[in-house]
Chain A
Amino acid sequence: MLDRREASSSGDRVPLSDLFIGFLKVSLCGFGGGLVWARRVVVEQRQWMGEQEFAETLTLCQLMPGPNIVGITVCVGAKLRGAIGAVSAVAGFILLPWTVGLAVGGVVLQYSEIAVLRNILGGLSASAAGLLIGTGLRLLTPHRSRRTALLFAGLAFAGMAFTRLPLTIVLLSLAPISIAVARRESARIR
């Protein structure tokens, strides 16, 4: 983790326009939530963060209020270029897609009762859901050798997917146990 931070903070700085365009891409490609493309752009294409750091940042964002994907945008921008970087990234993420989305969506909503349109919306939702599941599975890969990590990922999944508990309850009840287990593990390694 240390070497990655040094690599990105020393030497050439990421231009603000890269942040703007990178998150514009996340926003435009990322139908159904944006997390799929946020990981793809930030981790795979631009390598602004590693797989692990990305997952950790996502955790931080999930603990905070607000749209998590905007949180990722703020954090990546802040990491690379501070406050101005965060503003550039958020501007890229929101400005153009929001304008276009409002215009197109406004028109689509006028015709939302048409059966064909409903089917199209349904098909898009189904594939968006699949992409989200795939992204989660990919985020899990750095942890696949830790059996306890898989267990807690499974518990969190079950808590949200099969119970009607609010997310805060699921997170607040599992987090202390998961952290305690991680603490025991790292104590054993040392």
Chain B
Amino acid sequence: MNSSSASLVLAAHLAVLSSVSFGGFPTVLPDVHNVAVANGWVTDQEFANFFAVSQVMPGPNMILMMSFLGLKVGGIPGAVASALATFGPPCLMYYLSYRLWDRFRDMPWQRIVRRGLAPLTIGLVIAGGYVMARSAAVGWQSVTITVSAVALNLIAYV
């Protein structure tokens, strides 16, 4: 497989995955991993490095991570194709569903649904932070960093 057709295969796959990545893109990461490694595009270690670097870079992490993959597979065009495939389809869905959601904003049922869903979302955000902290925790130093970051975020109004 030459690099441009590999880029297309990757982009097509990412477009499908991004359209079904309920709960955020990390939920489909295992699948991306399997496809990328099975096709011989990257090694396990490279994939892990893509993740680590994209997590600590500012900006859209998952889009960046998929672009690193695209870059490896097909150079700059591959990176662009992967980025578009990762955020394009969900953007369209977000837009359409927001319009729909907004139209019914003042209906009583929607207020109840919102009241019911908000705590779950918040719990998931905190869980996301907790899981990240656990995977980053290699000793008391990292735990200290995490705890101070929580405290700073709660007291500081930057």
Q: Name A's B-contacting residues (CB within 8 A).
A: 2, 5, 27-36, 40, 44, 52, 55-71, 74-75, 78-79, 83, 86, 90, 93-94, 97-98, 100-102, 104-106, 108-109, 112, 121-140, 143, 146, 148-161, 166-168, 170-171, 174-175, 178-183, 185-186
Contact flag A157-B145 (CB < 8 Å), given A29-B58, A30-B58, A128-B56? no
- CB contacts (< 8 Å) of B117 on chain A: these are 56, 59, 63, 175, 178-179
Contacts of B101 in A (CB 8 A): 60
CA distance A134 to B97 in the complex (A): 28
- A30 shortest CB reach to chain B, Å: 6
A residues near B94, Cβ cutoff 8 Å: 61, 64, 66, 70-71, 74-75
Q: How far is the CA of A185 from the CA of B152 in the complex (A)?
A: 35
Q: Is B7 an interface residue (CB 8 A)?
A: no
Known: A62-B24, A166-B23. A153 touches B112 (CB 8 A): no
Determine the distance from Cα of A124 to Cα of B114 in the docked complex, in whole angstroms.
34
Q: A64 near B149 (CB under 8 angstroms)?
A: no
Q: A138, B154: Cβ atoms under 8 Å? A: yes
Q: Which residues B115-158 have CB closer than 8 A to chain A?
A: 115-133, 135-138, 141-143, 145-154, 157-158
Whole-angstrom CA separation of A133 from B102 in the bound complex: 28
User: What size tier do the contact residues of chain B reach?
Assistant: 35 or more
Is B5 at the interface (CB under 8 A from chain A)?
no
Q: Does B41 contact A (CB under 8 A)?
A: no
B64 and A105 contacting across the interface, CB-CB below 8 Å: yes
User: Chain B contacts of A167 at CB under 8 A?
Assistant: 22-24, 27, 124
With A and B bound together, what is the CA distance between A71 and B97 in angstroms?
10
Cβ contact of B64, chosen from A56, A102, A161, cutoff 8 A:
A102
Q: Chain B residues in contact with chain A, CB under 8 A?
A: 18-25, 27, 46, 49-50, 52-64, 67-68, 71, 79, 83, 86-87, 89-91, 93-95, 97-99, 101-102, 105-106, 108, 111-133, 135-138, 141-143, 145-154, 157-158
In Å, the complex CA distance between A96 and B126 comes to 29
Q: Are A125 and B60 within 8 A (Cβ)?
A: no
Take A28-B59, A79-B98, A133-B133 as given contacts and tell me if A155 and B123 are in contact as well, using a CB distance cutoff of 8 Å: yes
Looking at the assembled complex, report how far the CB atom of B104 sits from the nearest CB atom of chain A, in whole angstroms: 12
Can you give 29 contacting A-B residue pairs, CB < 8 Å?
A2-B106, A31-B55, A31-B57, A59-B114, A63-B22, A68-B24, A69-B60, A78-B99, A100-B59, A101-B59, A101-B60, A112-B49, A112-B53, A123-B145, A130-B133, A130-B152, A132-B125, A132-B126, A133-B130, A133-B149, A133-B150, A134-B154, A140-B122, A140-B126, A153-B120, A154-B123, A167-B24, A167-B124, A174-B120
B124 contact from A27, A62, A65, A123, Cβ within 8 A: A62
Q: How far is the CA of A152 from the CA of B117 in the complex (A)?
A: 9
A59-B87 in contact given A33-B61, A94-B63, A134-B154 (Cβ < 8 Å): no
Query: B68 to A105, Cβ gap below 8 A?
Result: yes
How many angstroms from the CA of A66 to the CA of B121 in the assembled complex?
A: 15
Point out the residue from A127, A156, A166 that lies within 8 Å of B127, measured CB to CB. A156
